[in-house]
Structure 1
Amino acid sequence: MGLAGPRIKQRIPSDPRNLTWSNDRSKFGFKMLSKMGWTPGKGLGVNETGDKEHLRIPHKQDLLGVGANKKTVDNWLDTT
């Protein structure tokens, strides 16, 4: 066995973009925003110019922490 770890087969879910979850109108956040006057398709904020879609989160393939990348890990002395 070499230095590389074992290969792990990645499972692709039936709904990789989680559209069924994001379109579910029975969730707590959707109900709360609706009670405050928000309607789907409008932006957030007083002028309704805020984000109209949910945040996109990249799938992490490594064991680094949140927000860390290979460049910051290699240059840890430069950040002190």
Structure 2
Amino acid sequence: MHYYRYIGSLTTPPCDENITWTIVREVKFVSKEQIELLRVAVHDDSDSNARSLQPLNNRLVQLNKLKGYQH
């Protein structure tokens, strides 16, 4: 499994937290029904992200490979 990791913040104000984001490289697919169930579970009633795309600002983004992972 390959994944990207970088330090950023949450997508809602104040947007100044130090959050470690881990993004899996391989795209997974879910149904609309699964998305709706997740939105209900986390009380997400918005239709968009809370902020626009942010500049990289010299953050390090690394691609990692999990050793020994078989899928």
Q: How high is the TM-score relative to the length of structure 2?
A: 0.26
* Larger Cα-atom Rg: 1
Q: Which has the higher helix share?
A: 1
Q: How high is the TM-score relative to the length of structure 1?
A: 0.24
If asked which structure has higher relative contact order (CA below 8 Å, sep 6+), I would say 2
